[in-house]
Amino acid sequence: MKTIGRIWTALVCVLVLSAQTMCVSAEWIVEQESGETAESLILATEAEEWQATATAPVAESLDIHAKGAVLMELSTGKLLFEQNSHEKLPIASVTKVMTMLLIMEALDSGAIALDEMLTCSANAASYGGSQIWLEEGEQMSLHDLLKAIAVVSANDACAMVAEHLSGSVESFVAQMNARAAELGMADTTFKDCCGLDDTAVSSAADIAVATRELMQHKRITEYTTIWMDSLRGGESQLVNTNKLVRYYKGATGLKTGTTAAAGHCLSATAERDGMALCAVVLGCDTTDHRFGGARQLLDYGFAHYAVYTPAVDPASLTPVPVLGGVMPTVPLTVGEMTPLLLAKGEEKQVAYEVKLAENVEAPVQKGQTVGKVEVRLGESVCAEYPLIAEQAVDRLSVGVAFGWLLQALLC
């Protein structure tokens, strides 16, 4: 398998470099601050090493070389690991998690469309660091700009979209901070839309919160899972710095970031067997510690936890008597049963207890709570879900009762 992997990697590299030679005008773009090159990313052999050393770590063995780190399960928002989780740190281009969130929210609201063409301003064209070298007056679709942001962390693309959505970068940054406050990101202050300003701060816990919100927009993974792509009709070749996208099973993104002040940072997401995780590592001293730390956290989460969706036997939901109603009973249904995060194996210990009202007085509204189902894990109640009336039941009036009596006499 290793030999086949090396042959395949070499073949890809030959094809890529041959294409580059044939198209002398093509330029290769990677996230500049990462210290990586297109060649080093394409030729990397970490895939073999990661597969060979993959184990199921225990919490005590986790060795995360980061100033701040968390592991979050995304459906519940529960933190499975914390290390200085609320320490305020510079986050470099991980800032773009919030930028992408605002873009996706604008897309979903209809404020902008992926095929909409945007025009680059002089201000956007002036942005340094990671960029796609946009020129003043150049037009590009939101689809391509979002690709540039997600794959190569293009600062100029961020500014271009920010100006289009909010009128100015400053207004967009104010919107970023307002959205962070709404999400309860108390450790976070954004200073720009891209992460160039290292006086901005956030925390591993806050980045996980923003990541969770972003990943609810499923279309974003169409961009964050791209390994290689192109812009400008193939003239600009893109290579993703996030090696997890290429090598880690189930990887769905998300965003790297590197500056001298912030160190090597990463918000990494992956999904397996219906469970989605986010590993955030901030302030790593090397890129190997960044990806190694994220891998350890993700491996730990997938090895030890599972998402369990409760299901109640409909036969246990007996109709509840209705006092003074036009119907003697009302049928029940269970409200939405959100998934539970359990340690692997605990799903075998799950038990249910249905608690119903003895009766309910008419009128009964459809959706009215008339009981609950408790989900128990041993002696502990780990979740409660409402039992609700499946239909409305009107109060029995004198007129209705007289009509019934008359009908019975006539029959």
Catalytic residues: 93, 96, 153
Q: Is 385 helix (H, G, I), strand (E, B) or coil?
A: strand
The Cα 280–Cα 293 span in angstroms is 9
DSSP per position, 285-330: SSHHHHHHHHHHHHHHHHHHEEEE-----GGG-PPEEEETBSSSEE
The Cα 44–Cα 31 span in angstroms is 16
In sequence order, the β-bridge partners of residue 292 are none
Burial of 372 per CB tally in 10 Å (0-12, 13-18, 19+): middle
Residue 20 C-alpha from the chain's centroid: 34
Residue 271 C-alpha from the chain's centroid: 10
Are 256 and 263 in contact by the 8 Å Cβ rule? The answer is no
Closest to 261 (Cα-Cα) out of 32, 29, 33? 33
Residue showing tokens 């993104």: 253
Are 349 and 322 in contact by the 8 Å Cβ rule? The answer is no
Cα torsion angle, 82, 63, 212, 380, sign: negative
The Cα 91–Cα 69 span in angstroms is 12
Burial of 63 per CB tally in 10 Å (0-12, 13-18, 19+): exposed
In the chain, helix, strand, coil percent, each to 5?
Answer: 40, 25, 35
Single-letter amino acid, residue 192: D
